[in-house]
Amino acid sequence: MNIAATPRYACGRLESSVLAKLGMLALAVISPPAGAATAASRPSPPAHSALTASDSALHVLQRFAYGPRAGQVAEVAREGALAWLDSQLAADGRDDPRLAAIERRTPALALDPEDWARRFAAARRAKREGMAGEERAEVRELTGQVRALVIARAVTAEDQLREVMAGFWFDHFNVFLDKGADRYLLPGYVEDVIRPRALGRFEDLLLATAQSPAMLFYLDNVKSVAPGMQPARRGDPAKPARRPVGINENYARELLELHTLGVDGGYTQQDVIAVARILTGWSMQPPAQGGAFVFRPRAHDFGEKVVLGARFPAGHGEEEGVRLLRMLARHPATIRHVCEKLCARFVSDQPPDGCVDAAVGAWRASDGDMRAVVRAIARTPEFWDEQAIGSKVKTPLEFVVSAVRAVGAEPDSGARLADAVARLGQPIYRQASPAGYPERQEDWANSGALLARMNFAVALAAGRQPGASVDLDAILPVTIENSALVDAVNERVLGGAMSAHTRSVIVAELADVPDPVRGRALAVGLALGSPEFQRQ
Amino acid sequence: MKLSRRAFLRAGGLAMVSYGLDPLFLARAVYAKPGASSRGRVLVCLFQRGAVDGLSMLVPHGDARYYKERPNIAIPEASVIDLDGRFGFHPALAPLKPLWDAGQLAPIHAIGSPDPTRSHFDAQDYMESGTPGVKSTSDGWLNRFCQHQREHEQTPFRAVSFGPELPRILAGSAPSLAIGDLRAFGLRAPNDAARDRLTRAFEALYEKAPTGLLASSAQEGFEAANTLRRIEPDRYQPEHDARYPNGRFGQSLLQIAQLIKADVGLEIAFADVSGWDTHVNQGAAQGQLATRLGDFAQALAAFAQDLGERMNDVVLVTCSEFGRTIAENGSVGTDHGRATAMMVMGGAVKGGRVLGRWPGLEPAARFEGRDLAVTTDFRDLFAELLDRHLGAGSLDAVFPGRTADPTRYLGALRT
């Protein structure tokens, strides 16, 4: 075990007390394999105290995975938390038969962008003719599959980090399923733009989103033309204006504010306008022609522009946009902004400077390689600080997926789990705001939604949640020893996070439940609905 | 519960401080006024999603150009319910005429967003975020009002949306509830005994949650569920022979009236209704749109009837993301336009008048030569209601980018 023995700190400005603390933590993390195994099998270690091997395992599984599968904490504790993370970082399309089976049973995945465009056009025709036609039902069914796939992949995939990062980037480069052409453009955006680059270089991701019809349509860049230019032809999805119009600043503004520099990134309204002018002509083909990205020189503004003090001389076309995006991807404000978001996701809602500095350092050293950045964040003292552990409230998606994983349930191919996530307040692919879904606990600890989480927890444990089949026999014994049962629930379902208070409440509730099968379901339902399980 | 609620809140608040989390929660405990009367003023906001045709709701029947532009779908002069000689109601809005006559209702014409988008998605988003043209606003204006207007009685029912999901307009850090059905809110169980048991168990679990926010939110949820059980929503009978139409929207208004009468501290209520995107076969005095409008008017009229005297505490406002083209299209419908019509209703409303400045239908007066121009920024109407009805103190924070200016108010309310 040497994985954490020499952690790299890109910032290199650690106080000695912090270092001492880290040393202790590192010792805990790299406790010898035999010790790790016994730690994992010990009944209910007190949560949030010294980090045992299984506490460390739970922490990395809560942040870099969608929570532990039933029993996975012990496995990762044996392997070592950071060793597990390294294997996730190294993973490169490993064999994953269960995931492959899920992808095979999803016909929507077999469609290419042209197929989607054709079906969308047919559905649109049907709508215009006032028919509740089969075409519309088909598109609904296909988008249902696409939403269901998010859950099934997050639950099943061995490469959990890839799923987590794909989710992070989708939110960062959010697109809204219900805006016009994005109904058919979104699936390709997810499969071809986001997922392949989830653990790649930021610059590649930024360029790919900037050249994706889904984004250009969503943020209206398809409507943005040089002043005085003829707009796109009629029948084009980019058509709404009937006469020549000017630039549309939407994409330019969000590109600077959300995707790259950040709201305090030091740009001006003049920069927004210049960026919009540079990106005029970045557009898409009509759906009938496949809906692909296209650069339209006729709509492009070939004049001179200045962005953040950098001159973009007159006479350049598509390539000046590429130059701009590369410049933005490397801008210090961008690196800081995106690293802060990553640390908010992985460390805490208001991440301390130390981990952000480490992430920035790794970014610079690796030219924005996300594997290096994630690796660095996981090796900061802030990540392992007891203030960080269990400090984040799960989003509804994280809650549902982690619950399904915790009880070893199998999601079916329908959208009912996705619908459950929507009812908890996070409809998948339906966040209208380009800021994506928020990360802070204030946005998710809503009282009605919390009660709905408890209902979901109880229903899932009782096998009554549509969309997931649960077999508690596979993870827990049927026993009349309530105390032993609750210990097993803590270890197998909560990964050891159960507080003494929760334990005593559940044991007390079980006292007058004569049927051990019902008692087991109640114990699991209460555990999944407990405050501990809402956190990660 | 072993701790009193206030002590509990305080403990939660201190825990929050030590965890260095958002102070808003603390502020909630500090500013709450537990002793205050729970019979307060209410703002009800109703969203007609899909862009309602304002020119059919509030017909400019005095303008010949209206009839010229809409040969098939104009409301015939004989069917229009005249209001002031120039404008009249669609005949399907007949249930609202008594409210107009009583001076409790005022329509506003040519109102809308300063942002010219004709995308439903963008325009709804702007109307709910309250920041037209700025897409990255993360919360809604009704939530921002609650965030900045903290002096309110402590209740989980301050801001309630009727529907399965919390809408954008109420999204944000101030607590708000989404209720699909008052009768089904709370923990689900096969029978009362099982539900009581689950409630007791979960209450016990959250009583000692390690930080304040989860615990207090759960507590608010249980409190709301308990309150709702006490007021027995399934036994509610509307008063004064009010008849709500069937369907989700009518039931939403019924439930809003019920919560208002239950004195649970409701201040902001929101509900929406879709089906206004009439591109095809819109109809005229009768037809698709007429049916929708009839249902809509019946629900509003039933609400006012049901509340009776209590309407003195209530202001209701309707809104829609934009209006529709002045001219009818090739499929006997209308396409996406600019300005639309909205309505305010309530005891405090200075009604019986059509509000707003009418830009006219002449091509030169139109937006892009095509659509009814916007002469009233929707934020000025909402700001007036928040200011004059709910006593909002910080409108600049509710509508950033639109400096509050009472001289722009329409005078919709008695002062």
A449 chain-B contacts, CB cut-off 8 A: 166, 178
Whose CA is closest to A345, among A312, A315, A370, A316?
A370
Q: Which residues pair with A311 in a beta bridge?
A: A306
Q: Using 50, 70 and 90 to split pLDDT, how confident is the model at A281?
A: very high
Tally Cβ neighbours within 10 Å of residue A246: 19
The pLDDT assigned to B410 comes to 97
A168-172, B32-36, B228-232, B392-396 — which one is most confidently predicted on average?
Answer: A168-172
Q: What is the separation, in whole angstroms, between the first and last Cα of chain A?
A: 26
Give the gap in angstroms from C-alpha B146 to the nearest C-alpha of chain A.
Answer: 14
Q: Which residues fall within 8 angstroms of residue A84, CB to CB, at 6 or more apart?
A: A57, A60, A61, A76
Residue of B24, B172, B217 with shortest CB distance to A450? B217
**Number of residues written out for chain A:** 536
Q: When comparing pLDDT for A343 and A269, which is higher?
A: A343
Say which range, A133-142, A168-177, A483-492, B285-294, has the weakest mean pLDDT: A133-142
- Contact (CB<8Å) B217/A425: no
Each residue's pLDDT tens digit, A202-224: 999 999 999 999 999 998 899 88
The pLDDT assigned to A223 comes to 84
- Contact (CB<8Å) A128/B279: yes
- Contact (CB<8Å) B205/A502: yes
Q: How far from chain centre, in Å, is Cα A211?
A: 21
For range A322-333, the mean pLDDT: 98
Q: How far apart are CA B389 and CA B236, in angstroms?
A: 28
Each residue's pLDDT tens digit, A377-396: 999 999 999 999 999 999 99
| DSSP 8-class letter at A454 | H
Q: Which residues pair with B273 in a beta bridge?
A: B48
The pLDDT assigned to B301 comes to 98
The SS3 assignment for A71 reads coil
Cβ–Cβ < 8 Å for A361, A375: no
Judge whether residue A17 has pLDDT over 70: no
Judge whether residue A23 has pLDDT over 80: no
Token code pair at residue B40: 């307060």
Token code pair at residue A522: 């109640």
The pLDDT assigned to A39 comes to 36
Q: When comparing pLDDT for A434 and B72, which is higher?
A: B72
Whose CA is closest to A148, among A105, A112, A180?
A105
Each residue's pLDDT tens digit, B51-64: 999 999 999 999 99
The SS3 assignment for B29 reads helix
Token code pair at residue B188: 């689900």
For range A448-475, the mean pLDDT: 94
Q: Using 50, 70 and 90 to split pLDDT, how confident is the model at A448?
A: confident
**Given phi > 0 = left and psi -120 to 50 = alpha, else beta, which region is B376?**
beta
The pLDDT assigned to B118 comes to 83
Q: Hey, is the C-beta of B177 within 8 angstroms of any chain A C-beta?
A: yes
The pLDDT assigned to B331 comes to 79
For range B223-250, the mean pLDDT: 91
The pLDDT assigned to B177 comes to 87
Q: How far apart are CA B394 and CA B399, in angstroms?
A: 9
For range A253-266, the mean pLDDT: 92
A536 chain-B contacts, CB cut-off 8 A: none
Cβ–Cβ < 8 Å for A426, A437: yes
Q: How far apart are CA A215 and CA A207, in angstroms?
A: 11
Which phi and psi (to 5°) does residue B368 adopt? 55, 30
Each residue's pLDDT tens digit, B152-186: 777 889 999 998 778 899 988 888 888 888 888 88
Give the gap in angstroms from C-alpha B330 to the nearest C-alpha of chain A.
Answer: 12
Task: Round the CA-based radius of gyration of chain B to a whole number and report it.
Answer: 22
Q: What is the separation, in whole angstroms, between the first and last Cα of chain B?
A: 45
Q: Which residues pair with A315 in a beta bridge?
A: none
| DSSP 8-class letter at B292 | H
Bridge pairing between strands B340-346 and B314-319: antiparallel
Judge whether residue A59 has pLDDT over 80: yes
Q: Hey, is the C-beta of B274 within 8 angstroms of any chain A C-beta?
A: no
Judge whether residue A16 has pLDDT over 80: no
Q: How far apart are CA A260 and CA A203, in angstroms?
A: 10
Judge whether residue A301 has pLDDT over 80: yes
Strands, E assignment, A427-476: 468-469
Q: How far from chain centre, in Å, is Cα B24?
A: 24
- Contact (CB<8Å) A250/B137: no
Cβ–Cβ < 8 Å for A473, A508: no
DSSP string of A408-430?
T-EE-SSSHHHHHHHHTT--TT-
Q: Using 50, 70 and 90 to split pLDDT, how confident is the model at B232?
A: confident
Average pLDDT, chain A: 86
Q: Using 50, 70 and 90 to split pLDDT, how confident is the model at B36?
A: very low
Average pLDDT, chain B: 88
Q: Which residues pair with A7 in a beta bridge?
A: none
Token code pair at residue A477: 């014994």
Residue of B138, B209, B224 with shortest CB distance to A438? B138
The pLDDT assigned to A22 comes to 45
Q: How far apart are CA A369 and CA A197, in angstroms?
A: 10
Give the gap in angstroms from C-alpha A245 to the nearest C-alpha of chain B.
Answer: 11
The pLDDT assigned to A112 comes to 87
Residue tagged 């001492």 (tokens): A20
Q: List the Cα angle A358/A445/A150 in 5-degree steps.
A: 70
With b for 16 or more beta-carbon neighbours within 10 A and e for fewer, the B190-214 pattern comes to: eeeeebebbbebbbbbbbbbbbbbb
- Contact (CB<8Å) B136/A455: no
Q: How far apart are CA A412 and CA A420, in angstroms?
A: 13
Each residue's pLDDT tens digit, A495-529: 999 999 999 999 999 999 999 999 999 999 999 99
Tally Cβ neighbours within 10 Å of residue B183: 15
Q: How far apart are CA A365 and CA A372, in angstroms?
A: 9
Whose CA is closest to A195, among A153, A141, A155?
A153
The pLDDT assigned to A435 comes to 85
Token code pair at residue B130: 């309250």
Q: What is the dihedral of CA B234, B239, B245, B246, to 10 degrees?
A: 10
Q: Using N-to-C axis directions, what is the helix angle for B5-19 and B212-231, rounded to 10°? A: 150
Which phi and psi (to 5°) does residue B69 adopt? -75, -20
- Contact (CB<8Å) B121/A433: no
Q: Which residues fall within 8 angstroms of residue A507, CB to CB, at 6 or more apart?
A: A482, A483, A486
Percent of chain B, pLDDT > 70? 90
Q: Using 50, 70 and 90 to split pLDDT, how confident is the model at A433?
A: confident
Q: How far apart are CA A136 and CA A126, in angstroms?
A: 7
Judge whether residue B344 has pLDDT over 70: yes
Say which range, A20-34, B77-91, B253-267, has the weakest mean pLDDT: A20-34
| Amino acid making up residue A146 | V
A225 HSE (CA, 13 A, CB side): 21
A440 chain-B contacts, CB cut-off 8 A: 22
Give the gap in angstroms from C-alpha B84 to the nearest C-alpha of chain A.
Answer: 36
Tally Cβ neighbours within 10 Å of residue B375: 17
| DSSP 8-class letter at A441 | G
Say which range, A29-33, A316-320, A483-487, B299-303, has the weakest mean pLDDT: A29-33
The pLDDT assigned to B402 comes to 94
Token code pair at residue B102: 């009583």
Q: How far apart are CA A514 and CA B198, in angstroms?
A: 16
- Contact (CB<8Å) A447/B209: no
Q: Which residues fall within 8 angstroms of residue A362, CB to CB, at 6 or more apart?
A: A10, A372, A373, A375, A376, A377
